[in-house]
Structure 1
Amino acid sequence: MRNEEEKLEQLFAKFDSDWDVVELPKNHENRFMDKLSNKAIKNRKRNLYTTISIAATVLVMFSLSFFFKPEAKTNKLTFASKETKQTDSIFNVLIKNELNKLKEKESPQNQKIIADALQQMKVLDNDYQKIIKEIARNGENKQIIYAMISNLQTRISFLQNVLNQIETTEQLNIRNDEKTL
């Protein structure tokens, strides 16, 4: 270890003439301390301003959120006209009636047809929900209203077709049963 220290001293001894040694002016330490204290005061002021700015921003955001609460949506078609709401409610009543008829027809023979029909109704209902969101987002226009009515009509006619198919199947089963007797 002592050997290493001697090597370091020899190395630095070679560069003794190359060192930049400048005499510092008088009162250098006092000026340095003044600058340091001024910088600390500026930093404290800056931190105080930053803290006040953040607090003011939070206060403004809180007051805005307090005064401008969004209204709760009471109806699916909040932006729809009275006529559109009436059309929607009339078609939905018809659809519910057709679904009730379909559920009344449920039996082991037509259980698969009804399950498939209900699955298709879910797809149509999802499409309908997208249309309702579009009305809420962009308001009413002819294309969206036409799509809404078309979806409702498709749902009703689909349910009627399924009911007709079930009735046809039941009649065929009755005829086959009569023939076998």
Structure 2
Amino acid sequence: MKKDAIDELFKNLEGSFDIHETANGHQKRFLTKLQNKTTKEEPKNKTWWKPLSIAASIAVLLAVSSLFLKTTPTYAELASVSPEMKETQSFFTSTISEELQTLKSFNTTETKELVDDALYQLSILEEEYESLKIDLTESGNDKRVIYAMINNFQNRIELLQQVIETIEEIKTLKNYKDETTL
């Protein structure tokens, strides 16, 4: 039954088949056209966006990194004036550091207010010193600014020493009071 249907189909289509030979070189022309389509390069007007996008992304990265890596301008220190001033600054900073450690060792519940107030006063003096560093840079090592910087160091040391003496007096008075109550 299936064979009859196929035979009948071929009988019906018998004059409609294309039985002519293709022209000479048809297959060759077909293959070259096929090859040209597969190896066709991208149009030149589309290749400019790749380098441009790379450049744009580099620009964005530089802009973002500059926001995060902003450097603060450097200002002249007392040590930049001369070797003697470098020694002076070194002496003052080490003395302040020692006095500050001594003050922090006295930080108890009884002396907390004194210590906190001293640290606050010290921060004010440090802010003034930062302002003096700017003035020193702008003035070109003016002697008045140098003296003001030295005076600032001395004020910080005096402040720390006064608070330490006051705390020691409080301790001795407390010890004396405790001895008399026994």
TM above 0.5, yes or no, is: yes
Equivalent residue number for residue 132 of structure 1: 133
In 2, the alpha carbon distance for the partners of 1:93 and 1:156 equals: 10
In 2, the alpha carbon distance for the partners of 1:170 and 1:97 equals: 20
Equivalent residue number for residue 99 of structure 2: 98
Alignment of 1:20-169 (within 5 A): 73=74, 76=77, 79-169=80-170
Instruction: Provide the aligned C-alpha RMSD in A.
Output: 2.2
Give the drift of 1:77. Answer: 5.1
Structure 1 unmatched runs, 5+: 1-69
Which of the pair has more CA radius of gyration? 2
In 1, the alpha carbon distance for the partners of 2:181 and 2:107 equals: 24
In 1, the alpha carbon distance for the partners of 2:80 and 2:142 equals: 11
1:44-71: CA deviations, max 9, x gaps? Answer: xxxxxxxxxxxxxxxxxxxxxxxxxx9x
Q: Secondary structure at the match of 2:108?
A: coil
Query: In 1, are the aligned partners of 2:77 and 2:133 still within 8 Å (CA)?
Result: yes
Q: Which structure would you say has the larger RCO, counting Cα contacts within 8 Å and 6 or more residues apart? A: 1
Query: In 1, are the aligned partners of 2:96 and 2:156 still within 8 Å (CA)?
Result: yes
Query: In 1, are the aligned partners of 2:118 and 2:163 still within 8 Å (CA)?
Result: yes
Residue 143 of structure 1 aligns to which amino acid in structure 2? R
Give the drift of 1:88. Answer: 1.3
In 2, the alpha carbon distance for the partners of 1:118 and 1:148 equals: 19
Give the drift of 1:80. Answer: 2.4
* 1:73 to 1:81, Cα distance in 2 relative to 1, 3 A: same
In 2, the alpha carbon distance for the partners of 1:78 and 1:176 equals: 48
Query: In 2, are the aligned partners of 1:131 and 1:148 still within 8 Å (CA)?
Result: yes
Residue 97 of structure 2 aligns to which amino acid in structure 1? K
In 1, the alpha carbon distance for the partners of 2:113 and 2:140 equals: 39
Query: In 1, are the aligned partners of 2:78 and 2:146 still within 8 Å (CA)?
Result: no
Count of residue pairs brought into register by the alignment: 111
* 1:169 to 1:78, Cα distance in 2 relative to 1, 3 A: closer
1:84-137: CA deviations, max 9, x gaps? Answer: 222112101100000000001111110110000000000011011111111122
Residue 126 of structure 1 aligns to which amino acid in structure 2? E
Q: Secondary structure at the match of 1:152?
A: helix
TM-score normalised according to structure 1 size: 0.56
Equivalent residue number for residue 174 of structure 1: 175
Query: In 2, are the aligned partners of 1:80 and 1:140 still within 8 Å (CA)?
Result: yes
Residue 98 of structure 2 aligns to which amino acid in structure 1? N
In 2, the alpha carbon distance for the partners of 1:77 and 1:145 equals: 7
Give the drift of 1:147. Answer: 0.4
User: Percent identity at matched positions?
Assistant: 35
In 2, the alpha carbon distance for the partners of 1:112 and 1:153 equals: 23
Residue 174 of structure 1 aligns to which amino acid in structure 2? N
